[in-house]
C-alpha cells in the first residue's frame, strides 16, 4: 500500500462547447478498491475513457501515470496491453458466441492462423473458476442472464492479465443476490492483488467494499475520502455529489387515496417464445385513485412483464385474466386500446423502448397524443408546440429548445420527456417502470415530486422499482413479486427492506 498504480494530474478534457473534465486529479493506490461517485454528467465516464485510451493522448490536457510511467495510449488496445481493463455498463460480449470464445476473443494465439480451441476451452475453465461461474465454457453467452455475462466479462479481463480493473456501474442491472456475489468477487480479486476502480450510484455498495472514494461534480474532483479513517457516510457523499444537502429525499405526501379504480384479477402471462411457460402466474391486485402502489421484487420476478402485458399485451405470447377500471371490464389487447381505457406506461428501457432518440423533444412528447392534437388527420402544430413548451416548463426539462434531439439530453431529462409523453395522453392510471434508473440524485428527487403531484391530482401511480428505499419512501402500498407471483402486500407503515426481502425470497 502507499504506492500509486494510477495517478492523474490536472486532467482537462474539452468537447465542443462543453468542458467535460476540469483539472481533475485522482490517485489510486496499488491493491485498493477505489470508488468514483458523482451525478450523471459529472465526468466519470469521460475520465475512464481518458484513462483507458478511448480518447487518445493529445486530445486532453494534463498527465496520466500508470504504474509510474506517463501513458501515451492511442487506443484501448494500448491500455489493455499494459494491464488495464474496463467493463462498461452495457456489456460488450458477442452474444452468439460461447463463453470461451468471448473470453479469448481478440487475444488468442494461433499457429499458422489456426486456433487451438481445445487448449482455450481448458484455459477458460481456469478463469471461470476464478470468478466462480459454474457454466460449461461452450455455453452461448446470450442464453445466460446479465449477472453471469458480467462474470464472463471479468474472466475476459483476467485472461488479459489485468492489473487495474475499471467497473462502470457493475451492479446496475443485477438483482440483490447477484450484486452481493459480484461485490464479494471484487473483494477476492483485491486479495489477489488486482486494483479496482468502481463507478457506482449505489452508495451503500460503495461504503461496503471501497477503501477510498473520490467524488466528482461538474467535471471537477471535489473530494477524496478514506472510508474507514474519515468515517464516511452516505450523507457526506450525497452532499459532495450535489453540492448541497438534500433535505428530504422523498417529498411528503398530503393526499389520501380515494376509491378503488383499477382491479386486475387472475392475470397470467405466457412467455413470448415458449408458449406454455408462465412468466406471470395468476396475479391479482388493485389500486386506488390518488394512490402510489409500488411493485418490488428481484430481477426476473415478472413485474415488468406483468405491466407490459396489461398495457396492450406488449409482452408475452398471450395472457389470461380480467382488468376492470371503475368496475367496468375493459379490453387492453393493444396499446391504443389501453391508452384509450386510461392506462399509460413509461418503460424502464428509455433508449430502446421509450424515446425516439433521433427525433426532437417536441415530437417525442406529442407522439402518443397526436389524434388529440389533430383535426381530420392534420396535426395542429401550434397546439403541439404549446403543449411541448408547457411540459418543458412544468417538468423543468433542461434543453435549449423543444427542437433539440432527444439523444442529446441527459438521462434524467430524457426520463422527463418520457413522462411528459405519457402525461400528455392524460391517463388515469400511470404505470412507471423503474422511473429513476440510471439518473442522478437531483433528477430523482424531481421525478418523485412529479409523481407525487400526479397522485395529489387524483391519478393512480403504479411504480415498478428495484430500489427498495424508493418503494418504501414513495408508496402507499407495496406488492412484492417473485417467480411470476405476487407473494405479498405491505402498507406504507409496515414496510421495511427486511420485510420485503423476506416476503420475496422466503414465502
Beta-strand relationship, 220-226 and 260-270: unpaired
Give the one residue of 188, 234, 331, 334 binding another protein; rule: CB under 8 A.
Answer: 334
| Alpha carbons 389 and 383: distance in angstroms, whole number | 10
Residues 345, 430, 448, 479: which binds another protein (CB under 8 A)?
A: 345
Which stretch, 122-130, 284-292, 400-408, 438-446, contacts another protein (CB under 8 A)? 400-408
Min separation Cβ 283 and another protein, Å:
21
210 or 422: CB nearest another protein? 422
Q: Which member of 26, 174, 237, 355 binds another protein (CB under 8 A)?
A: 355
Alpha carbon distance 491, 186 (integer Å):
36
Q: Is 153 exposed, middle or buried (0-12, 13-18, 19+ CB in 10 A)?
A: buried
Instruction: Give Cβ neighbours of residue 81 (< 8 Å, ≥ 6 apart).
Output: none
Q: Does residue 130 belong to the site contacting another protein (CB under 8 A)?
A: no
Which set of grid coordinates corresponds to residue 113? 492462423
Figure out which of the listed residues 105, 236, 330, 357 binds another protein, where binding follows CB under 8 A: 357
Q: Does 336 bind another protein (CB under 8 A)?
A: yes
The two beta strands, 378-379 and 429-433, are: unpaired
Closer CB to another protein, residue 154 or residue 409? 409
Among 173, 332, 368, 466, binds another protein (CB under 8 A): 368
Site for another protein (CB under 8 A): which residue of 356, 396, 491, 497? 356
Using CA atoms in the order 19, 23, 27, 33, what is the torsion angle rounded to 10 degrees? -30
Beta bridge partners of 64: 8
User: In the range 64-83, which residues lie near another protein by CB under 8 A?
Assistant: none
Is there binding between residue 333 and another protein (CB under 8 A)? no
Looking at residue 360, what DSSP letter applies?
A: B
Cell reading at 155:
474472466
- Asked if 106 is part of the footprint of another protein (rule: CB under 8 A), the reply reads no
Q: Which neighbouring-strand residues pair with 325?
A: 262, 328
> How many other C-beta atoms can be found within 10 angstroms of the C-beta atom of residue 168?
19
Residues in the chain: 507
Q: Which of residues 3-22 bind another protein (CB under 8 A)?
A: 16
Q: What is the bridge-based pairing of β-strands 61-66 and 4-15? A: antiparallel
E strand or H helix at 85 = strand 84-87
Q: Please check whether residue 362 is in contact with residue 388, taking contact to mean a CB–CB distance below 8 angstroms.
A: yes
Block residue for cell numbers 419512501: 473
Segment interacting with another protein, rule: CB under 8 A, options 288-296, 379-387, 463-471, 494-502: 379-387
Residue 219 in the binding site for another protein (CB under 8 A): no
* Residue of 150, 175, 304, 425 interacting with another protein (CB under 8 A): 425
Q: How far is the CB of 365 from another protein (least distance, A)?
A: 11
Give the separation between CA 394 and CA 416, rounded to whole angstroms.
10
408 binds another protein (CB under 8 A): yes
Contact residue for another protein among 110, 111, 191, 382 (CB under 8 A): 382
The answer to whether residue 415 forms part of the interface with another protein (CB under 8 A) is no
Residue 421 in contact with another protein, rule: CB under 8 A? yes
Q: Among residues 480, 466, 469, 460, which one has the least CA distance to residue 345?
A: 460
Out of 68, 258, 272, 371, point to the residue binding another protein (CB under 8 A): 371
Among 58, 245, 352, 506, binds another protein (CB under 8 A): 352
Q: What is the DSSP letter of 222?
A: E
Question: What does the binding site for another protein look like in residue numbers (CB under 8 A)?
Answer: 16, 311-312, 314, 334-336, 338-339, 345, 347, 352-359, 363, 366-368, 370-371, 374, 377-379, 381-382, 385-386, 400-401, 405, 408, 421, 425
Amino acid at each position: 500500500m502507499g504506492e500509486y498504480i494510477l495517478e492523474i494530474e490536472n486532467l482537462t478534457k474539452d468537447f465542443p462547447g462543453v468542458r467535460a473534465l476540469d483539472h481533475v486529479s485522482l490517485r489510486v493506490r496499488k491493491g485498493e478498491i477505489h470508488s468514483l461517485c458523482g451525478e450523471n454528467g459529472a465526468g466519470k465516464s469521460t475520465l475512464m475513457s481518458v484513462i483507458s485510451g478511448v480518447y487518445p493522448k493529445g486530445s486532453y490536457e494534463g498527465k496520466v501515470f500508470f504504474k509510474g510511467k506517463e501513458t501515451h495510449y492511442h487506443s484501448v488496445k494500448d491500455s489493455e496491453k499494459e494491464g488495464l481493463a474496463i467493463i462498461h455498463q452495457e456489456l460488450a460480449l458477442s452474444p452468439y458466441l460461447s463463453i470461451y470464445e468471448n473470453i479469448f476473443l481478440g487475444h488468442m494465439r494461433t499457429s499458422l492462423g489456426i486456433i487451438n480451441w481445445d487448449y482455450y476451452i481448458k484455459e477458460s475453465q481456469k478463469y471461470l473458476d476464478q470468478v466462480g461461474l459454474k457454466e460449461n465454457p461452450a455455453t452461448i453467452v446470450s442464453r445466460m442472464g446479465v449477472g453471469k455475462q458480467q462474470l464472463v466479462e471479468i474472466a475476459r479481463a483476467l485472461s488479459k492479465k489485468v492489473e487495474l480493473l475499471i467497473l462502470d456501474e457493475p451492479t446496475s442491472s443485477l438483482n440483490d443476490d447477484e450484486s452481493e456475489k459480484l461485490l464479494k468477487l471484487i473483494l477476492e480479486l483485491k486479495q489477489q492483488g488486482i486494483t479496482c476502480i468502481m463507478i457506482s450510484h449505489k452508495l451503500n455498495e460503495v461504503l461496503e467494499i471501497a477503501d477510498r472514494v473520490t467524488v466528482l461534480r461538474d467535471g471537477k474532483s471535489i473530494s477524496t475520502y478514506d472510508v474507514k479513517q474519515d468515517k464516511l457516510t452516505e450523507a457526506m457523499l450525497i452532499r459532495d455529489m450535489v453540492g448541497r444537502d438534500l433535505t428530504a429525499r422523498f417529498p411528503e405526501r398530503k393526499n389520501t387515496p380515494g376509491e378503488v379504480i383499477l382491479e386486475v384479477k387472475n392475470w397470467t402471462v405466457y412467455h413470448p417464445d415458449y408458449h406454455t411457460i408462465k412468466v406471470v402466474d395468476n396475479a391479482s391486485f388493485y389500486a386506488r385513485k390518488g394512490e402510489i402502489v409500488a411493485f418490488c421484487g428481484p430481477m426476473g420476478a415478472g413485474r415488468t412483464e406483468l405491466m407490459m402485458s396489461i398495457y396492450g399485451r406488449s409482452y408475452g405470447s398471450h395472457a389470461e385474466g380480467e382488468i376492470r377500471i371503475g368496475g367496468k371490464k375493459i379490453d387492453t389487447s393493444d396499446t391504443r386500446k389501453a391508452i384509450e381505457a386510461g392506462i399509460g406506461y413509461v418503460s424502464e428501457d428509455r433508449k430502446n423502448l421509450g424515446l425516439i432518440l433521433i427525433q426532437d423533444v417536441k415530437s417525442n412528447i406529442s407522439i402518443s397524443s397526436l389524434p388529440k392534437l389533430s383535426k381530420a388527420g392534420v396535426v395542429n402544430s401550434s397546439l403541439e408546440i404549446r403543449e411541448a413548451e408547457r411540459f418543458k416548463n412544468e417538468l423543468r426539462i433542461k434543453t435549449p429548445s423543444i427542437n433539440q434531439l432527444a439523444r442529446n439530453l441527459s438521462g434524467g431529462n430524457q426520463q422527463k420527456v418520457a413522462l411528459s409523453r405519457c402525461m400528455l395522453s392524460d391517463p388515469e392510471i400511470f404505470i412507471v417502470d423503474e422511473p429513476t434508473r440510471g439518473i442522478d440524485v437531483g433528477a430523482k428527487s424531481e421525478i418523485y415530486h412529479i409523481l407525487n403531484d400526479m397522485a395529489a391530482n387524483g391519478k393512480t401511480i403504479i411504480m415498478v422499482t428495484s430500489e427498495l428505499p424508493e418503494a418504501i419512501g414513495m408508496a402507499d402500498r407495496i406488492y412484492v413479486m417473485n417467480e411470476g407471483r405476487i407473494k405479498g402486500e405491505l402498507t406504507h407503515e409496515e414496510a421495511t427492506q427486511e420485510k420485503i426481502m423476506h416476503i420475496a425470497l422466503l414465502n
